[in-house]
């Protein structure tokens, strides 16, 4: 067999392929996570009025629009020199929690859970959300209820269920009403109950799984606010492979700590620390960095997680329970924020009128990891330079290494079993990569795995 294709491979967000090159004996010589799409938002934003960016950048992705929206608004606040009202800060935080609830529950219940609850040895056409509905109908029902809450929260605060538009330079375009607060609080409370009930499922999900899969040893980066878990606000922190703090920064200082680079096999950019070392972002990284989640059930879950995996966790598949703990924290925090009636205050915006700084850097923690929007404008506020660094680029190297690690274990004499293919995907899926965000891709999202034997010229024909 000269080439093996997995097509379509589902349950990742974007269009990607895995390429495995074999040596003469049919063993694995190299393996890459390979992204082949490009959109180019950073280029076509040049010349746009910067206040349009919070409305344009959510179109990068239908999965993570809120993260781009809020990061963009933060960069705009700096450019217009605005100190936003507290209620606007809380509304933006709530908007982010809506994104977390929606995105993390999508990943946990619908993308990752079928591997664990149905089993990776089961045929692909049964290993999906429909298979889950058949096998675990109650869990599937709960997943739909929490996702509905995340979507409704985004719609009520963001103005639209998918591409929110309410975060603007200086704050928010509208407040929420008491009727909305009551409705959302009821939904948040129900979501919190479900999140608490299903924690044991998430906690035990890896019990029968080989935890060495996709192993890499990296530093980590993530945001906190005085040691507390924070999705928007605070500082960005880097820790070493053993958890030792390395640095802490905010705003444009990120360039003193990380750098981007590219490889010739992928349109997806890579990031590394300025000293050349690799780091990871997202749930695993954030939970390695925080002292506390700041809410009771998530803190109790964090204790159990640390008892099981340790204080600084390198296990790639632990992204799954770590993500669940964040989902639980978002449900709890949403209840907290919505229980405070000051959230309906109509003081949601500081008026802005002129450019105060020609550069603004918005850094937030998106569900998949640290997200940076770096804008430079002219004195009239038109974009001159735009750099977006998304989570998937920062995890790119680790995903690539993880694919290589699993490929070496599951490819034998140039062949790979159905279960082996899915084990490669499980490692990629643990990171919940968003290819749409990372390359700004359009279209269907198949995934292809190609095994290329050692033969002169074949790789060039691909």
Residues 136 and 46 sit within 8 Å (Cβ to Cβ) = no
Cα dihedral value 438, 442, 447, 453, nearest 10: -80
Q: Cβ of residue 297: shortest distance to Ni ion, in angstroms?
A: 27
Q: Cβ of residue 51: shortest distance to Ni ion, in angstroms?
A: 22
Contact set with Ni ion (CB under 5 A): 61, 63-64, 434, 436-437
CA distance 41 to 436: 11
CA distance 393 to 176: 35
* Closer CB to Ni ion, 90 or 327, in the complex: 327
* Closer CB to Ni ion, 136 or 326, in the complex: 326
Q: CA 212, 257, 434: angle at the middle one, nearest 5?
A: 50
Q: Cβ of residue 445: shortest distance to Ni ion, in angstroms?
A: 12
Respond yes or no on whether the N-terminal peptide bond of residue 453 is cis (omega within 30° of 0). no
CA distance 305 to 301: 6
* Closer CB to Ni ion, 232 or 239, in the complex: 232
Residues 313 and 322 sit within 8 Å (Cβ to Cβ) = yes
* Closer CB to Ni ion, 99 or 450, in the complex: 99
* Closer CB to Ni ion, 31 or 153, in the complex: 153
* Closer CB to Ni ion, 388 or 434, in the complex: 434
Going from the C-alpha of 18 to that of each of 349, 409, 442, the distances in angstroms are 47, 15, 19
Q: Cβ of residue 369: shortest distance to Ni ion, in angstroms?
A: 11
CA distance 435 to 9: 14
CA distance 299 to 292: 6
- Spatial CB neighbours of 313, under 8 Å, sequence gap ≥ 6: 284, 287, 288, 322
* Closer CB to Ni ion, 14 or 251, in the complex: 14
Tokens matching residue 305:
């997680």
Q: Cβ of residue 157: shortest distance to Ni ion, in angstroms?
A: 19
Closest to 453 in 3D by CA, of 397, 410, 396, 415: 415
Q: Cβ of residue 386: shortest distance to Ni ion, in angstroms?
A: 17
Q: Cβ of residue 185: shortest distance to Ni ion, in angstroms?
A: 28
Q: Cβ of residue 13: shortest distance to Ni ion, in angstroms?
A: 6
Closest to 332 in 3D by CA, of 97, 153, 141, 143: 97
* Closer CB to Ni ion, 172 or 388, in the complex: 388
Q: Cβ of residue 156: shortest distance to Ni ion, in angstroms?
A: 22
Strand partners, 273: 258
Respond yes or no on whether the N-terminal peptide bond of residue 324 is cis (omega within 30° of 0). no
Tokens matching residue 79:
């450019």
Q: Cβ of residue 439: shortest distance to Ni ion, in angstroms?
A: 10
Q: What is the DSSP letter of 111?
A: I
CA distance 402 to 31: 9
* Closer CB to Ni ion, 127 or 323, in the complex: 323
CA distance 66 to 334: 16
Residues 383 and 48 sit within 8 Å (Cβ to Cβ) = yes
Q: Cβ of residue 3: shortest distance to Ni ion, in angstroms?
A: 30
* Closer CB to Ni ion, 151 or 350, in the complex: 151
Closest to 433 in 3D by CA, of 406, 388, 394: 394
If you compute the radius of gyration of the chain from its CA atoms, what whole number of angstroms results? 22
* Closer CB to Ni ion, 61 or 338, in the complex: 61
Q: Cβ of residue 110: shortest distance to Ni ion, in angstroms?
A: 16
* Closer CB to Ni ion, 288 or 436, in the complex: 436
SS3 218: coil
């Amino acid at each position: 067999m000269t080439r093996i294709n997995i097509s379509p491979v589902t349950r990742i967000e974007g269009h990607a392929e895995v390429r495995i090159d074999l040596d003469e004996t049919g063993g694995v010589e190299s393996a890459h996570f390979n992204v082949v799409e490009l959109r180019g938002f950073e280029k076509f934003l040049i010349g746009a009025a910067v206040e349009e960016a919070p409305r344009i950048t959510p179109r990068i992705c239908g999965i993570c629009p809120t993260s781009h929206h809020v990061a963009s608004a933060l960069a705009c606040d700096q450019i217009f020199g605005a100190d936003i009202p507290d209620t606007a800060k809380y509304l933006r935080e709530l908007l982010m929690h809506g994104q977390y609830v929606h995105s993390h529950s999508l990943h946990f219940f619908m993308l990752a859970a079928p591997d664990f609850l149905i089993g990776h040895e089961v045929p692909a056409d049964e290993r999906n959300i429909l298979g889950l509905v058949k096998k675990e109908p109650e869990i599937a029902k709960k997943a739909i209820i929490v996702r509905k809450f995340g979507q409704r929260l985004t719609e009520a605060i963001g103005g639209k269920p998918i591409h929110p538009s309410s975060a603007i330079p200086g704050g928010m375009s509208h407040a929420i009403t008491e009727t909305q607060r009551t409705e959302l609080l009821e939904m948040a409370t129900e979501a919190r109950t479900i999140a608490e009930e299903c924690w044991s499922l998430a906690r035990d999900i890896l019990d029968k799984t080989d935890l060495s899969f996709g192993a890499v040893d990296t530093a980590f980066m993530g945001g906190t606010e005085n040691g507390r878990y924070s999705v928007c606000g605070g500082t960005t922190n880097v820790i070493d492979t053993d958890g030792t703090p390395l640095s802490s920064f905010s705003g444009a200082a990120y360039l003193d700590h990380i750098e981007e680079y590219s490889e010739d096999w992928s349109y997806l950019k890579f990031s590394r620390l300025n000293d050349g070392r690799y780091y990871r972002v997202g749930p695993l990284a954030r939970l390695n960095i925080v002292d506390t989640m700041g809410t009771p059930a998530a803190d109790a879950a964090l204790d159990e997680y640390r008892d099981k995996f340790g204080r600084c966790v390198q296990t790639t598949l632990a992204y799954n329970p770590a993500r669940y703990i964040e989902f639980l924290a978002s449900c709890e925090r949403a209840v907290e924020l919505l229980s405070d009636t000051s959230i309906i205050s109509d003081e949601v915006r500081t008026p802005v009128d002129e450019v105060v700084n020609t550069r603004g850097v918005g850094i937030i923690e998106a569900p998949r990891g640290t997200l940076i929007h770096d804008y430079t404008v002219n004195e009239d506020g038109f974009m001159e330079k735009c750099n977006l660094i998304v989570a998937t680029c920062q995890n790119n190297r680790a995903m690539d290494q993880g694919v290589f690690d699993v490929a070496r274990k599951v490819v034998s004499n140039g062949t790979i079993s159905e279960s082996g293919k899915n084990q490669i995907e499980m490692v990629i899926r643990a990171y919940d990569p968003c290819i749409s965000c990372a390359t700004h891709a359009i279209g269907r999202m198949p995934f292809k795995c190609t095994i290329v034997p050692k033969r002169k010229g074949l790789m060039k024909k691909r």
